[in-house]
Structures are given as structure tokens and as C-alpha cells.
Amino acid sequence: MESIWEKSAQRAQFDTLKNYKTTDVLIIGGGIAGILCAYKLKNAGVDCLLVEATEICGGVTGYTTAKITLQHGLIYDKMIRRFGVDKAQLYAEAQKKACAEYARLSQKIDCDYQTRDSYLYSLNERKKIEKEVAALNRIGIKAELSDAEKLPFKVSGAVRVKDQAQFHPLKFLYNIAKDLPIYEHTKVVELMPHKAKTNHGEITYKKLIIATHFPMLNKHGLYPLKLYQHRSYVIALKGVQNMDGMYVDESNTGLSFRSYGDLLLLGGGGHRTGKQGGCWQELENFAKKHYKNAEIVGKWATQDCMTLDDIPYIGQYSKSTPDVFVATGFNKWGMTNAMVAADILCDLVRGKSNPYATIFDPSRTFFHPQLAVNAFESTIGLLTPTSPRCPHLGCALKYNRAEHTWDCPCHGSRFTEHGELINNPATDDHKSIAK
């Protein structure tokens, strides 16, 4: 399974760390969040170092649909009701600033950056759409009602926000990364206060940023309860009319659309990791019905960490770890949230205040209905008397017939049929799985 981004980008390569290093800031994780943190810190004159267990952009970053937008589902009306206008406005401002930073950087990088309008549609919830339009306008974001006529079906309404963007994420990131202090195939095997042991050496640090998609420290921060993972699927279609916008269903199980060159990227089939879902079959059935002459020229899947309240966890890892920071839970919107994370963490590790830090603070209250769902799924996974079991926290793995993998419904770890680790929070291969 290879995404169109992987097929069409020249990969940047880095050495493996095979000795001892000292750095002010160690970043673990070479996805978009880690790379942007390293980029921002280096440009701020901070001594930093990034280590990646495999190859940079080899995880979920290479499987995105790469939409750059402040429109993150039907969240702004909920935010205003839950947190008030000021916090919702700050969240939107952080995303808007991230969009502007991509636009600025992309002027000097050949990454197929294109300005596009963003549409958030609903099949049957027009009132929710109308409330979201009102909420966005209330916090200073120009939004309007739309019928999203370009879609191959009728909708009850859509929120349109103009002048958002899309790009080629790997062309962008490989260019950003090329001059950064990065070590690939450098796996952290043990973490101690201000010291990290890798498979070939040791790193001493003052501050630590964990950007490993799902946080790797179980003893702090309660992340296994505060997060769950959600899988999404994409097929690339040739022979379909170009869509001049980016379209996303407000439902977690709905479809998304965007064009790239002469291809249509159709996303959907989503489900909680370890559960049943429509997967690629749902997308292929849709394409056969609505795009009869289209040819499927690629397909891939990804998964996202989902938080309790639709807001990522960016900041101090926990109150008991003052020198450790985290960026996780981007809720399917990793492009802008990764840039937000880099902005916030670049300030925090230098002891500077950031106007957006309190909104994303990982130590904010976690009493939310989703917490009970996560706890229930973990309990069921632990009590299910089957094998194999996930080496992360011992939940029963479920076989994913669409992707031929073993997936954990508790926290989202995934393994091949031969036990090779695909997705964390597990950190090692599963030696007892056999095809």
C-alpha cells in the first residue's frame, strides 16, 4: 500500500545515530509535527535533534489527504457553547496562522500548493450547518451557506470557507527537512530523565518533545484514556471531472473529496481502529455508482488520534514532567494542527508564553462522555479471552480482513500478519503472531 505522495516525491535520507550526542531539545518522531518542531526550533537558534525509528514521513504523514484548512468539522458552534467565544476564536486564529505559514513557506517550495475553497457538508443536518456558519462568522471567520453543487449527490447544506489550501505534503516536508539535524533508523529503546538510549547510542537532552503520533509514555498524562484511534481509507480515481474545492462530510463515517492533478482522492469508509467499517469496499462501491468510467489507480489508509473534546493535546506532557512536551490528537486535521504544535512548543521549550497554549493544554479537564466510551472499549479489550494480545497494555487484537492486519480496538496499535509493528502506541513487533 503506497500513497500517491510516496510515489511522486524524492525522499530525503538521513544517517543513523551511532554514538553519543548532547542537545538542548530532543524530538522523538519524524512525522509532520516533529519535522516542523525541528524546523521552527532551528530557525529560532535552538540546539535540537530529531530521531525517527524508521524513516521520516513513513507513518501517518505519508497517507494524509493534505487539506490545509481551519475548518475541522462541526466544532466551532460546539466550542462556543462549551468554552465560550474567546477560546473558540483563539482556536480559529491559531489555525488561520498555521494556514498563512504554509502559504508563506510554499512560495519557495515546489509542493503543488493550491488555494481552494473548503466545504463542510451534511446529508441531513441543515440546522447544524446553519449554526456552524453563524458560529464562524461570530468569531471573525467569513463563512457562508452553500449547496456544494459539485458533489455527485444532493446535500442538505454545506459550510463554505474561501481561500483555504491543499498541497503535496511529502514534497513540502522533504524540502523542509533536508537541512535539519535528523537521524533515521534511530529507535529510542529507553527513556530516562534527560537521557534517551537508542538502538545504537545515547542522547543527553534538557527538554524532550514526543511527537510519535500516539504518546509513548504510559505512566504520565493518562493518554490511553484520553485518546482513541480512527482509521480512514482513500482511493485515487482517474477519469473523473476535476473538483475545484475540498469537501468533507461532517460525519466521521462520511466521505471526503479533493482533486490532485487529474486524480480525484475519495476518502471515507472510516471506523474506530479494531472495529468493523466500510473500508475500501465502501469507496469502490460508491465509485462504481457515481463515477462509472473512473479507474482506481491507487489506494491507501491512515489513522488518526482522536481527543475527548475535538482539540489536540499540545504542551507539557503532564504536570509531573515539566521538561517533557507532547503533540498528539490532531483529530484528522494534522496539517494545520502540526503547524500549531510547532509554534506552541517552540515557545514553551524556550520558556516563552504562547497565546494559544492554554487552549491546547494536555492537562485540561478530561471529564467528557467520550472518556466513558474509551474506558469501556479498554475494559472489553482486556476482558476478551482471545489471543493474540497487544503488547502495549494487553488488549485482545482483532483481525482486519480488509487490510490483513491485527488491530487493537483499545488504543490503536496495529501489526502485520507476521507480527511486524505498523502503528503505535506499541513499540515493538509482536513475536507470537504468525500468518
Give every strand in the sheet of 414-416, ordered side by side.
398-400, 405-407, 414-416, 421-423
pLDDT band at 382 (very low <50, low <70, confident <90, very high): low
Phi, psi dihedrals of residue 182, rounded to the nearest 5°? -120, 140
What confidence tier does 415 reach under pLDDT thresholds 50, 70, 90?
Answer: confident
Convert the pLDDT of each residue in 252-288 to its tens digit: 889 999 999 999 999 999 988 888 888 999 999 999 9
Distance CA 179, CA 25 (A): 17
What are the C-alpha distances in Å from 380 to residues 47, 114, 163, 377, 385? 45, 45, 45, 5, 10
Confidence at 387, pLDDT banded by 50, 70, 90: confident
Question: Can you name the CATH fold of 369-423?
Answer: Rieske Iron-sulfur Protein (2.102.10)
Instruction: Tell me the residue length of the chain.
Output: 435
Band of residue 383 on the pLDDT scale cut at 50, 70, 90: low
Handedness of CA 251, 60, 224, 367 (dihedral sign): negative
pLDDT for res 286:
95
User: What's the mean pLDDT in 8-20?
Assistant: 94
pLDDT above 90: residue 1 = no
Mean pLDDT of 85-99: 97
pLDDT of residue 399: 84
Locate 150 and state its grid cell: 459539485
Copy the grid coordinates of residue 287.
465509485
Give the pLDDT band of residue 390 (cuts 50, 70, 90).
confident
Q: Which of 159-163, 190-194, 224-228 has the largest mean confidence? A: 159-163
Helices and strands counted in the chain (H then E): 11, 21
d(CA 412, CA 63): 16
The whole-number pLDDT of residue 219 equals: 84
Of the pLDDT bands very low, low, confident and very high (cuts 50, 70, 90), residue 386 is confident
Average pLDDT over residues 409-419: 82
What element of type H or E holds 129? helix 126-138
DSSP classification of residue 42: H
**CA neighbor of 337 nearest in space, from 314, 315, 364, 320:** 314
SS3 call for 103: helix
pLDDT above 70 covers what percent of the chain? 97
Given pLDDT bands bounded at 50, 70 and 90, which one contains residue 381? Answer: low
Close Cβ partners of 425 (under 8 Å, ≥ 6 residues apart): 214, 215, 216, 218, 223, 224, 392, 411, 412, 413
The domain defined by 228-304 carries CATH number 2.20.25 = no
Mapped onto helix, strand or coil, the DSSP state of residue 282 is helix
Contact status, residue 361 vs residue 221, Cβ threshold 8 Å: no
pLDDT score recorded for residue 367: 64
| Range scoring the smallest mean pLDDT among 110-114, 149-153, 408-412 | 408-412
CA distance 254 to 270: 8
Listed by start position, the domains of the chain span: 4-64+171-225+309-360, 228-304, 369-423
Question: Can you give the C-alpha Rg of the chain in angstroms?
Answer: 21
Q: What is the mean pLDDT of the chain?
A: 92
> Is the confidence at residue 376, as pLDDT, over 70?
no
**pTM of the full predicted structure?**
0.93
In the three-class reduction of DSSP (H, G, I as helix; E, B as strand; rest coil), residue 104 is classed as: helix
- Do the Cβ atoms of 265 and 236 come closer than 8 Å? yes
Can you name the CATH fold of 4-64+171-225+309-360?
FAD/NAD(P)-binding domain (3.50.50)
Residue 434, pLDDT > 60, answer no
Residues 35-57: what's their mean pLDDT?
Answer: 97
Q: Find the range with the poorest average confidence among 41-55, 169-183, 392-406.
A: 392-406
Q: What are 232-253's pLDDT values in tens digits? A: 999 999 999 888 899 999 998 8
Q: Residue 416: its pLDDT value, please?
A: 81
CA 236 to chain centre: 20
- Whether the predicted pLDDT of 371 surpasses 80: no
Say if strands 245-249 and 114-122 run parallel, antiparallel, or are unpaired: parallel
